[in-house]
Structure 1
Amino acid sequence: MLIVDEKKLAGLLQEVKVIAVIGAVDKPGRPVDRVCRYMMDAGYKIVPVHPKRENVWGLETYQSIKDIPFPVDVVNLFRASQFCANHAREVLELETMPKCFWMQQDIFSPEARELLSGKDITVIEDRCIMVDHINLAGKR
């Protein structure tokens, strides 16, 4: 389901706790670094995912979302749009589906949206989770 309803989005942001971040990089000045540090400060558990980096933000970092040994509520993508469909396929292989597949600002994937349609997962495109949290949910 594609969310545009601000009330539902605010509710989702209040409900979720664990966010897997695909494309996690802890370089100061990078959007992913700024957004994830904000989300950690707001009380979310961030799970970094990167195929080559280790200990992003001092946290255990997984090479793939399929390597995470516990359920996550949100899969948040900081990857170019052309990679999103493959990540949607990975999500479909998870034992426990996340509540949300979130593509950050300027990231769109009709193919990922189609792959996840009909599943019990909210698909969000072209929105910054930090900006939405600030505007809709506020600091917890």
Structure 2
Amino acid sequence: MAFENPPRERIKTILEQTKTIAVVGLSDKPDRTSYMVSEAMQQKGYRIVPVNPNVESVLGEKSYASLADIDEPVDIVNVFRRSEDTVSVAEDTLRMKHKPSVFWLQLGIYNEEAAALVQAAGIEAIMDRCIKVEDSILRPKQ
């Protein structure tokens, strides 16, 4: 069966219930998409937890080398990595101390194997969607 993203109403509910987003591949360079999207989400009130072994902090938040290093609960793991790299990110997600509710692959990123891994563990998957765009459409005044 081919993968399908949850319906828009479900995505809206996910975003309304989300407080903390771990962002895998968050760059500390302001001209990068990962930075711009995360900054916009932070300005909308979401807490951003950077996951990038090459930086100490991003957007005023401590950066973690891997998802497994995060001690606090996160609601969404948002991924800015190539599609072919997302299976290992899904595996890292499953090793987290606190399992997130959602595994979200950004616009242009799609990997059915990664989605199947997290879904088998009860984590919802969203692929090939920009979290900032979805939030702007579904929650315009938040």
Gaps of 5+ in 1: none
Deviations 1:43-83 (A, max 9, x none): 00000000111111221110001001111100000011111
Establish whether residue 20 from structure 1 lines up as the match of residue 22 from structure 2.
Answer: yes
- For 1:22 and 1:94, the matched residues in 2 are separated by 13
Which range moves more in the overlay, 8-17 or 113-122? 113-122
Match of 2:33 among 31, 34, 48: 31
Relative contact order (C-alpha < 8 Å, sep 6+): which is higher?
1
Match of 1:95 among 97, 109, 120: 97
Amino acid of the structure 2 residue aligned with 1:60: K
Q: CA deviation at 1:2?
A: 4.9
Match of 2:8 in 1: 6
Judge conservation of contact 1:73–1:98 (CA < 8 Å) in 2.
Answer: yes
- For 2:33 and 2:91, the matched residues in 1 are separated by 25
Structure 1 residue ranges (4+ consecutive) displaced by more than 6 angstroms after TM superposition = none
Number of equivalent positions: 140
SS of the residue corresponding to residue 99 of structure 2 reads: coil
Gaps of 5+ in 2: none
Which range moves more in the overlay, 110-119 or 81-90? 110-119
